């Protein structure tokens, strides 16, 4: 039996559009068999996702950790983690504080370039206290500073711009250690999104493996076959387990819907091979 795995999705517990229940309903409609909810730096949506999934879908407890590596913002997925583990609990506290402090800093920086009121503004868009750059993007759009998300990132929030504040995030090796301590599989998320040369990508992968990382997201959303080939090659070169996910956030801004990402080439060792799920 060929099961459909989507191991990278977001809910409104971070910067996604749908509640965990709505996400699960959409994933079931799209014939996903195994879904990882991987909100940014939080697991608060997992219980709701599991309750909504019932017997129709298998939920993998996941998280997408923010980290820095050589001054860049790198995302690492923790898949099949024990969300009750003390290691994860303390990591969550650290990340929540980092995200809160960062949001304050972003607000101050935006005020200095003529965008006041961002701190108050983002409170309307974030569910709870998990504030991310997309919430700032929404504020910038709704307040008329930019006309869409792409512009918000291009002018204010993207790499190298005033709102790209990342000094609060832990080092790459720290988040990998958290994931391993929580019994999970550490997977380098969307390696093609970091605009790295092949040499830099391989330096990153060497550091990732040295720190205890074991997986690589070979498929992220809808991608070009050449990217898939490049990442399969990298997986083989570093003996990494392969993973795939839509990185679904919403039905807007060009995100893929759950389960509708490019196909993962067969014949490679996957992150789920050793999870012992969906047998029988």
Q: Any contact of residue 150 with ligand AMP (CB under 6 A)?
A: yes
Rounded to a whole number of angstroms, the minimum distance from the CB of residue 44 to Mn ion is 15
Confirm if 231 and 192 have CB atoms less than 8 A apart. Answer: yes
Q: Any contact of residue 33 with Mn ion (CB under 5 A)?
A: no
Fill in the per-residue mask, 156 to 195: x = in contact with Mn ion (CB under 5 A), - = not in contact.
---------------------------------x------
Q: Any contact of residue 75 with Mn ion (CB under 5 A)?
A: yes
Distance (Å, rounded) from C-alpha 122 to C-alpha 37?
Answer: 23
Size of the site for ligand AMP (CB under 6 A): 12
Q: Any contact of residue 67 with ligand AMP (CB under 6 A)?
A: no
Stretch that binds Mn ion, among 27-35, 47-55, 71-79, 176-184 (CB under 5 A): 71-79
Distance (Å, rounded) from C-alpha 96 to C-alpha 109?
Answer: 20
The single residue among 22, 50, 158, 181 that binds ligand AMP, judged by CB under 6 A, is 158
Distance (Å, rounded) from C-alpha 58 to C-alpha 68?
Answer: 31
Distance (Å, rounded) from C-alpha 78 to C-alpha 85?
Answer: 13
The single residue among 63, 249, 257, 261 that binds ligand AMP, judged by CB under 6 A, is 249
Q: Any contact of residue 41 with Mn ion (CB under 5 A)?
A: no
Find the helix or strand (DSSP H, E) in which 133 lies: helix 133-142
Confirm if 52 and 25 have CB atoms less than 8 A apart. Answer: yes
Distance (Å, rounded) from C-alpha 145 to C-alpha 120?
Answer: 16
Residues contributing to the site for ligand AMP (CB under 6 A) = 15, 40, 66, 132-134, 149-150, 153, 158, 249, 253
């Amino acid at each position: 039996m060929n099961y459909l795995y989507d191991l990278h999705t977001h809910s409104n517990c971070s910067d996604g559009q749908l509640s965990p229940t709505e996400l699960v309903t959409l994933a079931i409609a799209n014939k996903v068999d195994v879904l990882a909810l991987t909100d940014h730096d939080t697991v608060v949506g997992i219980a709701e996702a599991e309750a909504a999934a019932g017997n129709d879908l298998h939920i993998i407890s996941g998280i997408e950790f923010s980290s820095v590596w050589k001054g860049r913002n790198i995302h690492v997925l923790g898949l099949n983690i024990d969300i009750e583990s003390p290691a994860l609990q303390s990591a969550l506290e650290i990340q929540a504080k980092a995200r809160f402090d960062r949001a304050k800093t972003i607000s101050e920086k935006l005020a200095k370039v003529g965008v006041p009121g961002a701190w108050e503004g983002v409170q309307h868009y974030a569910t709870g206290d998990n504030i991310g750059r997309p919430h700032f993007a929404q504020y910038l759009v709704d307040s008329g500073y930019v006309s869409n998300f792409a512009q918000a990132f291009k002018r204010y929030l993207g790499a190298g711009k005033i709102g790209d504040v990342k000094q609060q995030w832990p080092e790459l090796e720290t988040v990998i250690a958290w994931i391993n301590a929580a019994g999970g599989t550490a997977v380098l998320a969307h390696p093609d999104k970091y605009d790295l040369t092949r040499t830099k990508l391989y330096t990153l992968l060497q550091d990732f493996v040295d720190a205890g990382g074991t997986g690589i997201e070979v498929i992220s959303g809808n991608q070009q076959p050449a990217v898939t080939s490049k990442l399969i090659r990298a997986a083989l070169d570093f003996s990494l387990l392969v993973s795939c996910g839509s990185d679904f956030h919403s039905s807007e801004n060009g995100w893929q819907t759950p389960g509708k990402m490019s196909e993962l080439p067969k014949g490679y060792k996957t992150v789920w091979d050793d999870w012992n799920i969906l047998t029988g």
